[in-house]
């Protein structure tokens, strides 16, 4: 049996149309070197180095989707939010973010400024009737622009420009479990000009690729045990939003190890977002990545 997703009653429909209004109003209503962050950078805004903005092409909003598709996007986002789990807050927050970026990318070539992003966040806070996590706001506050380009085949690409030379930084400082070479995961960094390409997984070949990724793992990989057990079951469930494959350029996670190299900057290469990964009552983390640094490589999934 598939998960009992929370679909629409009249109140939820009203909120859904509010979500649609927020999205369209905000978007279309407005014209391996040694990192400087390590080891002293403490995650406080005053420590950033000002970034001299380069002149780049800014896309004016060009709506390329129907009202029906906009309504469907808003419905799917609302379902994801209403059914999110507190115990998988990080994982499902990231899958929500990937889905939102994909949907915005389907609207056409768009550039969102920091002011527009702030208005979008405020609008969603009113919609869900609770504040968005401060850590997410901290990351978004570092963004100068998000530029979306719609690509053939339903794909889209998002280019990130930050307000500071260091780009976008999220401090993690999570200690390892002692069973591996990882002593601490220090921080995530997206360089200015970094990009992520998003594509829906909707063919047999693409599903087979994802299946192989989660089942063909080694000692250095850290994929949640329930993912390979239930991925085939998920393929047969009617999910409110699609699985999305992500390809990355210019994003790293710095890891402190007990090896001779100590600090290693693993580069994000690609990954998948599986929204509301549920099989019966079981809640499973739905975000995973492939990371690489020279000959070192690993697969990870994120829950908390």
Token pair belonging to 127? 């919609």
- Residue indicated by tokens 């900057």: 265
Residue 111 β-bridge partners:
147
**Are 19 and 127 in contact, with CB atoms under 8 Å apart?**
yes
CB 188 within 8 A of CB 169: yes
Q: Is residue 290 over pLDDT 80?
A: yes
Which positions ≥6 away from 289 have C-beta within 8 Å?
A: 268, 269, 270, 271, 299, 300, 301, 302
Mean pLDDT within 80-108:
81
| Predicted pLDDT at 10 | 55
Three-state DSSP class for residue 15: helix
Digit-coded pLDDT (tens) for 17-37: 556 655 555 554 444 445 555
Closest CA to 199 of 241, 251, 156, 146: 156
Backbone angles phi, psi at 297, to 5 degrees: -150, 155
Beta carbons of 297 and 278 less than 8 angstroms apart: no
Contact 229, 196 (CB under 8 A): no
pLDDT tens by residue, 35-61? 555 443 444 444 556 556 666 555 555
Nearest to 220 by CA among 248, 181, 183, 175: 181
For residue 146, what pLDDT band results from cuts at 50, 70 and 90? very high
Quote the CA–CA distance of 49 and 102 in Å, as a whole number.
30
Greater confidence, 238 or 4?
A: 238
d(CA 153, CA 151): 7
The pLDDT value given to residue 41: 44
Number of helices and strands in the chain (H, E): 7, 11
pTM of the model: 0.77
- Is beta strand 263-273 parallel, antiparallel or unpaired with respect to 168-175? unpaired
Inter-residue contact 77 to 294 (CB < 8 Å): no
Which pLDDT score is estimated for 45?
43
Task: Select from 22, 30, 149 the least CA-distant residue to 77.
Answer: 22
> Mean of the per-residue pLDDT values for the chain?
78
Cα 207 from Cα 131, distance rounded (Å): 35
* Other C-beta atoms lying within 10 Å of the C-beta of residue 186: 21
């Amino acid at each position: 049996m598939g998960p009992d997703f929370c679909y629409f009653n009249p109140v939820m429909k009203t909120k859904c149309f509010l979500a649609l209004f927020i999205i369209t109003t905000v978007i279309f209503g407005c014209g391996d070197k040694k990192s400087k962050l390590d080891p002293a950078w403490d995650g406080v805004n005053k420590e950033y180095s000002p970034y001299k903005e380069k002149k780049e092409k800014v896309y004016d909003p060009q709506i390329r989707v129907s009202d029906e598709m906009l309504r469907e996007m808003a419905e799917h986002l609302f379902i994801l939010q209403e059914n999110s789990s507190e115990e998988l807050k990080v994982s499902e927050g990231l899958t929500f973010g990937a889905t939102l970026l994909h949907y915005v990318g389907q609207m056409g070539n768009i550039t969102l400024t920091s002011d527009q992003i702030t208005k979008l966040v405020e609008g969603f806070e009113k919609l869900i009737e609770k504040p968005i996590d401060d850590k997410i706001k901290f990351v978004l506050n570092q963004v100068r622009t998000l530029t979306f380009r719609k690509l053939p085949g339903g794909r889209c690409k998002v280019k990130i420009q930050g307000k500071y030379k260091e780009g976008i930084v999220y401090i993690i400082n999570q200690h390892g479990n002692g069973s591996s070479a990882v002593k601490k995961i220090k921080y995530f960094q997206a360089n200015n000009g970094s990009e992520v390409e998003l594509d829906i997984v909707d063919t047999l070949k693409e599903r087979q690729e994802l299946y192989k990724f989660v089942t063909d793992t080694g000692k250095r990989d850290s994929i949640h045990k329930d993912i390979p057990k239930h991925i085939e079951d998920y393929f047969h469930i009617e999910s409110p939003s699609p699985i999305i494959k992500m390809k990355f350029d210019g994003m790293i996670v710095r890891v402190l190890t007990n090896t001779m190299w100590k600090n290693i900057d693993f580069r994000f290469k690609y990954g998948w977002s599986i929204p509301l990964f549920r099989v019966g009552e079981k809640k499973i983390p739905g975000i995973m990545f492939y990371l690489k640094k020279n000959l070192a490589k690993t697969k990870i999934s994120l829950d908390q």
